[in-house]
Amino acid sequence: MTSSALSILLVDDDRHLSESMRLWLRGLGHEVRAAESLASAKAALNDQTFDLMICDLRLGDEDGFELIEHSKKHHPNTAVLVMTGYATPETAVEAVRAGAFDLLTKPVIDAELNLGIERALSLRNIANENEALRQQLDKRSGLENILSHDYRMMKIFDVIDNVADARASILITGENGTGKSMIARAIHNRSRRRSNAFVEVACGALPDTLLESELFGHVAGAYTGANSDKVGKFQLADGGTLFLDEIGTASPAMQVKLLRVLQEFQFEQLGGTQTHSVDSRVILATNDDLAKSVAAGTFRQDLFYRVNVVNIALPSLRERPGDVPLLVDHFLREVSETCSREIDCFDGEAMTAMQNYAWPGNVRQLENVVERAVLLGRGPLLTIDDLPPEVTGRGVSAGFGSIIAADSPGNPQALSLGEVAGKTLKQALEGPERQIILQALRANNWNRASTADTLDINRTTLYKKMKRLGLDDPRLQYA
């Protein structure tokens, strides 16, 4: 006796056998519906949801395998039990491959049928549980290495899910070290293209001629030293994803060629005349402000609109200090395992110093700082003494080669010229300004009115600065 009443579709062209089985199954408490052909069975499957379909392999001139495959494709939650009077080992294997859970040989004994029903439903339940587990794990598939609790990053994760399978180009913007390459890989890994290649090209690392050859390939004799044909990255990424980093460095001539391939997905190899077509998903990244480059005439407006269909702007690490402890813990465990060092954690003072620091090099710099601390640390508990001077502000003079960012008693702070190279004055002052406001907020228990009075600015100015510097996240009060 089965454990509960089931809805069963019985498919057999032998009316006498079908009626006998139907009466017996109904006697066990099951709801049974009969069909004699492929058409009537498919119609029944469309009309009603069944727990189980018991199907003969020979339905007059029709093939039961077709019905099994149809059920597996369109009604995967219906378990399939096959019965036939012409069973061979090969038939059983073929039936299971088609989607059946078990095969019984006619004439079917009642106890054998009952056991077959139980076994088919048990296997179906296991398959459903495995699928549910796979879907649960897939929620973070491709995002495993992107650690964040920040609401800005949560929104970005939603965008990744929404655009993963879109054909449109995606532009990822953000400062160096914010993880643009990881986001591009996450998009690829969460798309239907995940089984194909992810190809990355650093556009800023190659001169124009070599970049063209790298992207589009070349034919033998295209230039001196080109002794054989070469397949370009666009072709290598056919069916997959091509990630073009530092796209803002592309020359005007290269921009024209990129515009054409992004519009038509067609190109010619360097020195060749044959037109190649590809199905490559293109993701681009830059730390430049392309809108300003368009205004300055150094980046084509039509290319900008082509690549900027979906823009993912990554926040800097200083805008999400609440993620610092999470990232530090991750890097600490990684580096400790790699270096075979037994390290427990950073103490509270060291963690506070890291959360207060502006991190001009973002997550990449944080990883390097943690690695340095693990390698040079003198015990399992890392302290502020294990952090470099630029993070703690200790032992940094205000002489030549440094710019004083804040000079409060007991908390000297400095920025090296290397940290501000290539930045505007406003960008260079963001880190020190953020630290001063954060310290004032903490000193005033996050009372904004008192903080504004302490800093001698009006409240509106303080609110705008907090929003711009990422200090409006309420979780900072408990970090």
For 138-154, what is the mean pLDDT? 69
Q: Which of 373-387, 443-457, 461-475 has the highest mean pLDDT?
A: 373-387
pTM: predicted TM-score of the whole model, two decimal places: 0.56
Q: Is residue 422 predicted with pLDDT exceeding 50?
A: yes
- Interval 322-344: pLDDT, tens: 889 989 998 998 888 888 888 88
Query: What's the pLDDT at 398?
Result: 38
Closest CA to 87 of 108, 69, 105: 105
Residue 197's SS3 state is: coil
Report the largest interatomic distance among the alpha carbons of the chain, rounded to a whole angstrom.
Answer: 102
CATH of 151-315, one of 3.40.50.2300, 3.40.50.720, 3.40.50.300, 3.30.420.40: 3.40.50.300
Q: What is the DSSP string of 295-306?
A: HHTSS-HHHHHH
Q: CB–CB of 199/245 below 8 Å?
A: no
CATH of 318-478, one of 3.20.20.70, 1.10.10.10, 1.10.8.60, 3.30.300.30: 1.10.8.60
- Interval 85-104: pLDDT, tens: 766 667 767 777 777 777 77
Residue 205's SS3 state is: helix
Query: Cβ contacts of residue 244 below 8 Å, gap of 6+?
Result: 201, 203, 258, 282, 283, 284, 285
Cα distance between residue 471 and residue 289, in whole Å: 23
Burial class (CB in 10 A: 0-12, 13-18, 19+), 188: buried
Q: Given CA atoms 107, 111, 114, 116 in this order, what sign does their dihedral have?
A: negative
Helix pair 252-264, 208-216: axis angle to 10 deg: 10
Greater model confidence, 3 or 351: 351
For 274-296, what is the mean pLDDT? 92
Residue ranges of the chain that CATH labels 1.10.8.60: 318-478
Residue ranges of the chain that CATH labels 3.40.50.2300: 7-137
Greater model confidence, 405 or 330: 330
Instruction: Considering the domain delimited by 7-137, tell me its CATH architecture.
Output: 3-Layer(aba) Sandwich (3.40)
Query: What's the pLDDT at 132?
Result: 62
- Interval 10-51: pLDDT, tens: 888 888 888 888 888 888 888 889 988 888 989 999 988 888
Q: CB–CB of 374/341 below 8 Å?
A: yes
Residue ranges of the chain that CATH labels 3.40.50.300: 151-315
The label of the residue with tokens 């390939």 reads: 217
Cα distance between residue 479 and residue 476, in whole Å: 5
